[in-house]
Structure 1
């Protein structure tokens, strides 16, 4: 067919005066939108800036106030700790035990001093200082040590160290010994008083307890360090902080006065820092000696680290409190060393700490007298000021710091509470982020609101469109607001009527489908039902290990003759319902039923290794059901059941009228076993009997001939019925 070409119309021409063109300009919608956006954006920015300035300042002030509160709490705790230490020393020096001990130890020491110096003991002690003590002190301090410079020179010190110091490998072993068994007066005094001072040392976590006579001799030591027997006026430790504190306490001549000595390296402690609290011991106004305790480092660290519960005490993940001495060295442990020693060492060296000092802190597990801190906060605190500031801490981290001097007599320390700014100012960052997000959200909201207001008239149509899409997606009962417009209200009402009608029809279809599915599942397994619903024609299933139960209700035909058909069917349905409930409890599947017969299987739909036992227990429960029913109804009904195990085939038979059935050798043999016997009972083949547990008793009941040979038949005798859920 030829293609017809249509003539093209000529373009329209204006005749006469041309239409004037509209000048380009902003519409009212655009002007309104610009005004709304300008006012909202500018006001949001102004409010945001004011809120940011005020909010960040307030949050920073809160962070500093928290650190100040933590600092004050730790300061009170440390002050209370030193007060308790002073009181403990003061009370111990004032009791009769210390007075008696001071005299006894001084007298015992004087006796030893007057004795002859044992050459063998002197050699042992000199060897210990030359080989052991010098090596240990050199390793701890990293410096070459001449052990002979610390070795005892008099008889008493040599005697005591030979019997109470060098025999033990550690101070923990030495403190456990009360008597060296040498028979000396000093050992007798030690056996009498050492348990008291050992308990005092251990219960209050003191590093050591010393007793010093008026001549400056250390006449007792709880841990038996190398300072036992030394003289604080002339011995190798005459320049130690212990000697200084002892001389000051004796020079004051104040009986209940306590002199606190700041921590300093102490050679008897292998160069580790030691601090002291020293007080005179007086009897009847006469000073007879002095009691000195070595300050408990662990208790100080316990207070400053709040027992390791930093988070619970408001210090978060990076906060800590620590003490700093006049020499700008730490007097407590660093939190970073506790949390991660390797990370502490790396950060401390990077921040300027000598590698040897950092390594020694890690080795000793403490930063006492090792970590130097020369920050502005520490400088101000040592000058007597307190306050807060933002600075870089001893590990090179920007931190918020609260500082103050520590009020403990004899100690010029600073206490610092700090937290990294990255953590402390998280609320500020969160506030800033939230403020920016909220401001941006407000701007976006106003923009969207302006757009929505401009397009508000198309909302009813959009609602109808959305509702139609939901129905197309499968939602039911979708309703829309009719709106205020008459025309749109009519359309919305018609749509709502249609939606309700579709919902009702959908529910009816669902109910019909559920009823059909329940009907199908009532006479075939779920697996076959699924295949049947999908259109399979030939549905069969072979099972190699199934126990078949073929049961007859003996006496029901005679009972039914005396009833109407409706009554007989009702009673039969009651029995079958009871049978089905028992089958469900035992994991047995019903295959089909007739007027008085019940065919079931175990292991067909769900494979079970104990299908024979379950099937027999199911049959035993059927017998109990019939016996109970007979007693209640006043009739005589018995069970005659046959069971066999083996291979069966199940499937659907027919097309127009589908029937689910099961066949095979096991089905035939189960039918023959129960049919060949005239007596009621439960009869099983040899294959079933072999698989039953000992709790189910069976008795011989004859033989049955099959194509494969003679099969032995057994009758089940079970006095007790086991009902499984």
Structure 2
């Protein structure tokens, strides 16, 4: 009887020590996974930034926005005034149609205008034919979902996808409060404060684009020519690249996964094991933010200050066993 008590005590101590070591090993492994993912995410955005920067410095980008034979000049000539040019621009394309022109209206004046465009007589038509193909190819082959050219005064003189914000002004137009406009405005403030803005850029965090109903980010850079700013190129970034990175669950077992959460408690990558917790749902339904169950705010408060955190949450997903 006397020997049973010490043996029980030793067993309890051994189990406690083993459990503690196992917890430390698991946590250490998760921290290692976190660091790998953090490095991958940083490299991903660094490569996007480098790709965008090299393109903005290319002769192709400089020529395409030029004030003599590029989109800026062609945009200005769409009307006798810049205001009328904006109106004309917004009537040229089907929203989201890339290079699909709107059908002409019955008004005779409108018919003449579209007739001129269809025949390729308009300067904008010729410029568009010259440059659109390469811009569209870059969008199709990358994680960019759109590329926009904006002149120095804020006019969106070109867009690959031609959403409704194409042809508008990002400073005083109807979309001046959007994330796209915010990215341009903040870069412009920086450019106005320095003599050489060639190294400047502005990255806007992911937000819902109300025109496409997609969650996107924006990377804005100046286009320089002969030491002068000719305009701004804005790359719209989808979250498909982040999803691809975070969906790799190697080393996480059957129920483990990694995901990215912003300081607003909204997702930046989808959860593969619980599809309802998607980036889109997180931005459109407060039920799917990370401040809602099964992710309590106190848990996320520990995760947000670091770039990527280890979150251990038991039974947020219960696999079905057949």
- State which structure, 1 or 2, has the greater radius of gyration over its C-alpha atoms: 1
Q: Which has the higher strand share?
A: 1
Count of matched residue pairs = 287
The one of 103, 117, 123 aligned to 1:185:
123
Is 1:80 matched up with 2:18? no
C-alpha distance 295-423 of structure 1, shift in aligned 2 (>3 A)? closer
Give the TM-score taking structure 1 as reference length.
0.37
Q: After the TM superposition, which residues 397-546 of structure 1 pair with which residues of structure 2 at under 5 Å, given as runs?
A: 405-406=306-307, 415-421=308-314
Match of 1:206 among 128, 138, 144: 144
Equivalent position of 2:243 in the other structure:
301
Deviation at 1:239, TM superposition (A): 1.2
**In the alignment, which of 255, 275, 290 is matched to residue 373 of structure 1?**
290
Question: What displacement does 1:267 show?
Answer: 2.5
Q: Is the 8 A contact 1:273 1:369 kept in 2?
A: no
TM-score w.r.t. the length of structure 2 is 0.80
Q: Is the 8 A contact 1:164 1:180 kept in 2?
A: no
Instruction: Determine if contact 2:156/2:168 at 8 Å carries over to the other structure.
Output: yes
Aligned counterpart, 2:110: none
Contact 2:93–2:99 (CA under 8 A) maintained in structure 1? no
Q: Does 1:107 align with 2:73?
A: yes
- Equivalent position to 1:314, from 232, 251, 256: 251
CA-based RMSD of the aligned residues comes to 2.7
Task: After TM superposition, give the deviation of residue 295 of structure 1 in Å.
Answer: 1.5
Kept in 1: contact 2:218–2:237 (CA 8 A)? yes
Match of 1:259?
202
Q: 1:111-122 counterparts in 2 under 5 A?
A: 111-114=77-80
State the distance in 2 between where 1:314 and 1:180 align. Answer: 57
Q: Judging changes above 3 Å, is the alpha-carbon distance between structure 1 residues 182 and 201 closer, same or farther for their aligned structure 2 residues?
A: same
CA distance in 2 between partners of 1:257 and 1:237 (Å): 23
1:326 corresponding residue in structure 2: 263
Gaps of 5+ in 1: 1-36, 116-152, 345-360, 385-404, 407-414, 425-725
Which of the two has greater helix per residue? 1
State the alpha-carbon separation in 2 of the partners of residues 69 and 158 from structure 1.
55
Quick check: 1:287 aligned with 2:229? Answer: yes
Q: Distance in 1 between the 2:32 and 2:175 partners?
A: 41
What SS does the corresponding residue of 1:208 show, helix, strand or coil? strand
Answering whether residue 179 of structure 2 is matched by residue 241 of structure 1, we say: yes
Of 132, 148, 154, the match for 1:194:
132
Matching residue within 86, 92, 99 for 1:163? 92
Higher relative contact order (CA 8 A, sep 6+): 2
Which SS does the other structure have where 1:323 is aligned?
Answer: coil
> Partner of 1:418: helix, strand, or coil?
coil
CA contact (8 A) 1:249 1:278 kept: yes
Instruction: Please point out which of 8, 18, 23 is paired with 1:55.
Output: 18
Which of 55, 61, 65 is residue 28 of structure 2 equivalent to?
A: 65
Q: Hey, what's the Cα distance between the residues in 2 that align with 1:304 and 1:82?
A: 14
1:419 shift after superposition? 4.5
Query: Gaps spanning 5+ residues in structure 2: where?
Result: 102-116, 192-196, 292-296, 318-322
Q: 1:606-645 maps to which residues of 2 (within 5 A)?
A: none
